[in-house]
C-alpha cells in the first residue's frame, strides 16, 4: 500500500480534485496534473443524499487506478452510509478512504468505521463540514491517518472559500502526530493556499484552480499553490 501520506512532507502536498477534470479525458488530465508536480489525486464520491449531487462510483475509480497504477487515490466519501462503500472502493484501488463525522452518531461509531477501513488495508480519513463544531471531530482525530476540513459546503465544485474554517485547522493541528496529515478542500487556489498553509494544513485539494486552467499553466499553478 502506498504510504505517501504517512511520510512527513517537506512542504504542502497538492491534490487535484478530479471532479473538476474533463471526464472525457480523465486519465490524461489526471496524469498531466501529476506530471505538473501534484502529489496525489482527490476523488470525490457523492450519493445524492448526504450531498445534493451525484458523482462517480467504484468502476471509474478502478479505471483510473488501472490507467495510473502509481497514482495515490485519496477517496472522499460524501455519502450517508460510508460503510457500504469501503470494500468496493478498496478493491477499486483507493489508497485512502475518508468519511464524514456528520454521519456518525457517536465517537465509537467513527472509530468502528475507521477500523473497518484499516482491516481492508487502506489508509483512513475523517472529514468535517464548515457548519459542524470542531468539537465533534477532536475526540477521534487520533484514530485517523488524515483529517479533512471542508472549506466549502460539499456537493459542488467551484465554490468560494470559507475562511472561518481555518480555525478548525489551528485546533486540530496540535493533536496530530508526524504520520498524520491535515487536509483542506474547497475554494483552494493561488489566492487562498497561503492562508491554509499558515493555518497548518499540509494537503491542499484544488479542483478548478488547476483543471479549470489551460494545461500549460498547471505546473506554475502547482508551484504557486505549494507556497
Q: Which of 44, 47, 145, 202 is catalytic?
A: 44
Q: Is 185 a catalytic residue?
A: yes
Burial class (CB in 10 A: 0-12, 13-18, 19+), 66: exposed
> What is the 3-state composition of the chain as percent helix, strand, coil, each rounded to the nearest 5?
45, 20, 35
Name the helix (H) or strand (E) containing 99: strand 96-100
Q: C-alpha distances in angstroms, 146 versus 41, 181, 226?
A: 15, 5, 19
Active site residue 74: no
Q: What is the 8-class DSSP label of residue 83? A: G
Max CA distance (Å), the chain? 47
Left, alpha or beta for 44 (phi > 0: left; psi -120 to 50: alpha)?
Answer: beta
Measured over the CA atoms of residue 71, residue 76, residue 137 and residue 14, the dihedral's sign is positive
Packed helices 26-35 and 58-67: angle between N→C axes, nearest 10 degrees = 50
Cell numbers at residue 226, please? 505549494
User: In whole angstroms, what is the distance from residue 9 CA to residue 113 CA?
Assistant: 27
Write down the catalytic residue from 47, 145, 185, 202.
185
Catalytic sites, residue numbers: 44, 185
Amino acid at each position: 500500500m502506498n504510504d505517501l501520506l504517512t511520510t512527513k512532507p517537506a512542504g504542502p502536498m497538492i491534490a487535484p480534485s478530479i471532479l473538476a477534470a474533463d471526464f472525457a479525458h480523465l486519465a490524461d488530465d489526471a496524469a498531466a496534473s501529476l506530471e505538473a508536480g501534484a502529489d496525489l489525486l482527490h476523488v470525490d464520491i457523492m450519493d445524492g443524499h448526504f450531498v445534493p449531487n451525484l458523482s462517480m462510483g467504484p468502476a471509474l475509480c478502478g479505471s483510473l487506478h488501472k490507467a495510473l497504477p502509481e497514482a495515490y487515490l485519496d477517496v472522499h466519501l460524501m455519502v450517508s452510509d460510508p460503510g457500504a462503500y469501503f470494500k468496493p472502493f478498496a478493491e477499486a484501488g483507493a489508497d485512502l478512504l475518508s468519511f464524514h463525522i456528520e454521519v456518525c452518531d457517536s465517537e465509537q461509531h467513527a472509530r468502528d468505521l475507521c477500523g473497518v477501513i484499516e482491516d481492508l488495508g487502506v489508509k483512513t480519513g475523517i472529514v468535517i463540514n464548515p457548519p459542524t463544531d470542531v468539537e465533534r471531530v477532536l475526540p477521534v482525530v487520533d484514530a485517523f491517518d488524515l483529517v479533512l476540513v471542508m472549506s466549502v459546503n460539499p456537493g459542488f465544485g467551484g465554490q468560494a472559500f470559507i475562511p472561518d474554517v481555518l480555525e478548525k485547522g489551528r485546533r486540530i493541528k496540535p493533536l496530530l502526530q508526524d504520520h498524520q496529515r491535515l487536509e483542506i478542500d474547497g475554494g483552494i487556489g493561488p489566492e487562498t493556499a497561503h492562508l491554509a498553509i499558515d493555518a497548518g494544513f499540509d494537503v491542499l485539494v484544488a479542483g478548478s484552480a488547476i483543471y479549470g486552467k489551460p494545461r500549460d499553466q498547471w505546473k506554475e499553478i502547482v508551484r504557486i499553490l505549494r507556497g
